[in-house]
Structure 1
């Protein structure tokens, strides 16, 4: 319904409280920060240029955790660590877990891990410390494992750990004297060795988990603070951080800070463009999607979402009028509305489609089922509006053009109001979408209506001078009036002949746009007939297929809802953008983006 009110805030503190202030800003998230480089043009100060090594440290911990199977979660760190301590701890972990060579480690399969798990009770440390015994861990193809019995007399023993339908994992043990002989035997059996770790890695990971998470969380915390440094401006011995906060959250935002000076200003008091937050009710909120696609309104502009919601739902419903199909769209849209705004739009246009479908007497393409209800409610012979009756075709098309003309006039009034708010008086009075354009277009419509309905001619000279010739002259001279307002001469620099020749074609284009914009709404009536025609084809095919008719009926309705719904949706959006937005809306606003450490990544 409106654009949310904002406040411009300036936070400043001493160096000793800088990190504390930035940490709280990173957690609070209702502020849209301003880069210090934008502020330094208006305020004297120095930018902070600090490197952020903690980002790479945190990434190193994530890599180590991934390699050793330890999921690191962010928490509130309990200690502080110098860069040297962090670097040494990373090096220690890399060395201990065998990650020294480019951070790589032997990747084990799930079956390998199961075998290691079975072997762990024997004690990896004890196996490594054995002086006269040698252990070998690995897997044998299933066929090779069956041949082990042929070497029953050899000086080694085996212990089966794990198996699947292809391999058997085992560990063998032999003495120093028979090691080479044993290795040769297993090599001939296609033995695939796995390195026995120096310690129980899983156990060691659990022992290191707490400290790894603590140091990792500390790195994330420091990194999030340093990411805010580009928004800080140093002025003397104070550090300033500026941004925009929603007015309704300003008190709770200020309450978060201690030892910080906070100044408030209205957005109009600063040169920095204020970001925009749209606030709309339940019905209109999904249509913010279309407004954002075209361009958010500026902070001091107005929010067109409500107008878009009403006109889009109305036009779509008129073109896609079917009670049954509309209810299907509405149900699906409401069920999936939380997934995306687009489904919310589908739900709402489904409701209007159902309403107009009831008025047309159409339910899944069945054109006669609602006739008894229409006859009882509206006291008509068959039904209220038969769109397939040829005698109604011209009326539908004329009604579509009249609907378009009404919307054009409404958007002109909206443009006049919006320009008057900003005191752009030339646009208010002399533009094609201003008061002169409104009078010109409105007179043409009234003149055509009076001539058609009552045979009255309004083309007498006084009417033509006031409502036609004078507006055309205003269109022609609008550029010169703008020049006078800007302090230039009324006389064009290229001379009046060159000016008139050049702007004559612009005036002709304006006249042509009035015609084409009006006729563009013929598509509304055309799609009413198109939708009914497609359903007539479905009904005809259903009758022709006999017992399979119900299948054709269902598939046909799904096809029409998908194809026709998509086409009608696109055409309605086209009318919104090209025939309406172009008359009263410019966009150009900046989206409010609340700061968070994740959005800064």
Structure 2
């Protein structure tokens, strides 16, 4: 419903406990921290906390070691042991030397998961001991099952075999033979299509296991120190105090202060207006119904902190326009149930929007008398409720088509005027008097466009004529002149020179085409809403085709009915959703919304 009010906070600590203060800031669920470079200046005499983050190299080295030996580095929840830089560097040196052998062994063998299973079964014999044998030789590999059968038929074999692993196609074996029969044995296995796997000279898992505990301890310590040093970008040193500055939601200030209980730090809070050099972040605050529509707003641009949150307006207008264009009671009910279900299960905002537009689809579907494309089922209900001959609104009635299209343009005109009012309110708030008075979305534009609408309505509906000089000059001529002179008049109000930068000749030529474009845009923007009426007819027409096919297919009609409704829901729903979003962005947002806000981001999300 609005943008969350912020408090500017400064958390200060001495040199002896600033690291603990930083840790509390990192785990805070309320703090948006500002980079220290935006805090420090010549006036406050502050300086940056500049310490080289050597732990970045340590963490990368440990990750590279783990990657080279196939060991995944995972830090513990808490640090159990601390290390000096010298101890870490000595440990890394020893580990790199020892694991180079392991890495070479791993890289020389590209093994599948089945190869690994077979190797694991062979591990009980000790790889090093197998290679140290003087009189016997070992070999390992996989044989096709057909070759295994032939292996059992060999007479006077000079080897013995053992099964290690088996799949539907292969069997992994290890064979043992004497040194004197190695060549003969290998030649025989080659004939049986043995795919040999090299037996490692060392047991890498055994070596890794020796270092695993300390590897994890060192990695945990280095990663924690790396994260802590990464937070130094938010620390400014002022008067020997280490200060972190940022923004906290005003309603959560007390909870934020409680996060530092038991620690010798001070938390100072003030209004953001006291630090004009810092731009407060934007945190949108909307209720359950409108919260999913924040997605559409942020896709366009996040509103600035000092602006208004358009989410509620977007939610209302999007549901309204979608409901008109996709009016069907039955299909709207499916959108409602399906959207809310997926939103709850997947926490998906788009699904939430689908559920909400289902409500207005049901409402207009009821007014149109349409249930899954059936245009007659609600006739008795309409007759009883609205005292009409058939239906309250018969979309497919040819006499209603022009009324529908005119109504769509009227809806568009009302929305355009509404966005103009919203734009004027924002200019009043920011005291942009030139934009307020002279722009096409300000007072001049509102008077011009509003008069044109009233004049058309008076001419064709109420029978009075306003298209006379006495009315046209003040309500059309003067606004057009204000459009033309907007720049010099704005400069005049601001106390600046009214002479255009490029001279009056260039100004008049450029402004002439700009004003022409403004006048043309009023027409095109209004006509753009014809698509609302067009899609009402399109949806009804597609469902009429479906119902005709149902009647033609006889007993298979129920299948055609289900498939047809699902097809129309998918295709028409997607198209209507996109077209409604287009109206939001191009016909409404462009008139009142500037964006450019800075997202509220917890300090932990940046680290």
Normalised by the size of structure 1, how large is the TM-score? 0.89
- 1:45 touches 1:236 (CA, 8 Å); kept in 2? yes
Segments of 5+ residues of structure 1 without an aligned counterpart are none
* Cα separation, 2, equivalents of 1:103 and 1:162: 21
Cα separation, partners in 2 of 1:494 and 1:166, compared to 1, 3 Å: closer
* Matched-pair contact (CA < 8 Å) for 2:33–2:247: yes
Secondary structure at 2:8 match in 1: strand
2:286 maps to 1:280: yes
Local SS of the residue matching 1:382 = coil
1:111 alignment partner in structure 2? 114
> Match of 1:412?
420
Q: Could you say what secondary structure the match of 1:481 adopts?
A: helix
Q: What 5-or-longer segments of structure 2 have no aligned partner? A: none
Q: 1:7 to 1:180 in 2, by over 3 A?
A: same
**Partner residue, 1:74:** 75
Query: Who is 2:477 aligned against?
Result: 469
Partner of 2:317: 311
- The reply on whether 1:302 has 2:308 as its aligned counterpart is yes
1: distance between equivalents of 2:230 and 2:128? 44
State whether structure 2 residue 433 is matched by structure 1 residue 425.
yes
- 1:542 equivalent among 535, 544, 550: 550
**Paired residues for 1:472-483 under 5 Å:** 472-483=480-491
1:336 corresponds to: 342
Corresponding residue number in structure 1 for 2:356: 348
State whether structure 2 residue 220 is matched by structure 1 residue 214: no
Superposed CA RMSD in Å reads 3.1
In structure 1, the residue matched to 2:243 is: 240
Match of 2:274 in 1: 269
Query: What does the per-residue CA deviation read over 1:494-540, in whole Å, with 9 as the maximum and x for residues that have no partner?
Result: 77676555434433333222222222222211211121122222222
| Equivalent residues of 2:30, 2:249 under 8 A apart | yes
1:397 and 2:397 are equivalent in the alignment:
no
**How many residues were matched structurally?**
599
Corresponding residue for residue 33 of structure 2: 33
Distance, in Å, in 1 between the alignment partners of 2:183 and 2:537 is: 89
Given the superposition, is the C-alpha separation of residues 140 and 264 from structure 1 closer, same or farther in structure 2, using an over 3 Å criterion? Answer: same
How far apart are residue 389 of structure 1 and its match? 0.6
* Distance change (3 Å), C-alpha of 1:107 and 1:88: farther
Separation in structure 1 between the aligned mates of residue 152 and residue 369 of structure 2, nearest angstrom: 86
Q: Indicate how the Cα distance of structure 1 residues 158 and 68 shifts in structure 2: closer, same or farther if over 3 A, else same.
A: same
Tell me, what secondary structure is at the counterpart of 1:160?
Answer: strand
In structure 2, what is the equivalent of residue 58 of structure 1?
A: 59
1:406-431 CA distances to partner (integer Å, 9 max, x unpaired)? Answer: 11121111112111111222222232
Shift of 1:122: 4.2
Give SS of 1:297's match. Answer: coil
Equivalent positions of 1:115-126 (< 5 A) are: 115-124=118-127
Give the deviation of 1:476 after TM superposition: 2.7
Distance change in 2, residues 1:441/1:182 (3 Å): closer
Of 491-500 and 318-327, the range deviating more from structure 2: 491-500
Structure 2: distance between partners of 1:125 and 1:571: 71
| Correspondence list, 1:179-258, <5 A | 191-196=194-199, 202=205, 205-206=208-209, 208-235=211-238, 237-257=240-260, 258=263
User: How far does residue 224 in structure 1 lie from its aligned partner after superposition?
Assistant: 0.8
Q: SS in structure 2 opposite 1:22? A: helix
Q: TM-score, normalised by structure 2?
A: 0.89
**Shift in Å, 1:383:** 0.8
> Structure 2 CA distance, aligned partners of 1:574 and 1:144?
67
Compute the displacement of 1:567 (Å).
Answer: 1.8
Would the aligned equivalents of 2:130 and 2:138 in 1 still touch at CA under 8 Å? Answer: yes
Aligned to 1:18: 18
Q: For residue 289 of structure 1, what is the aligned residue in structure 2?
A: 295
What are the equivalent positions in structure 2 for 1:526-541 lying under 5 Å apart? 526-541=534-549
1:576 aligns with 2:584: yes
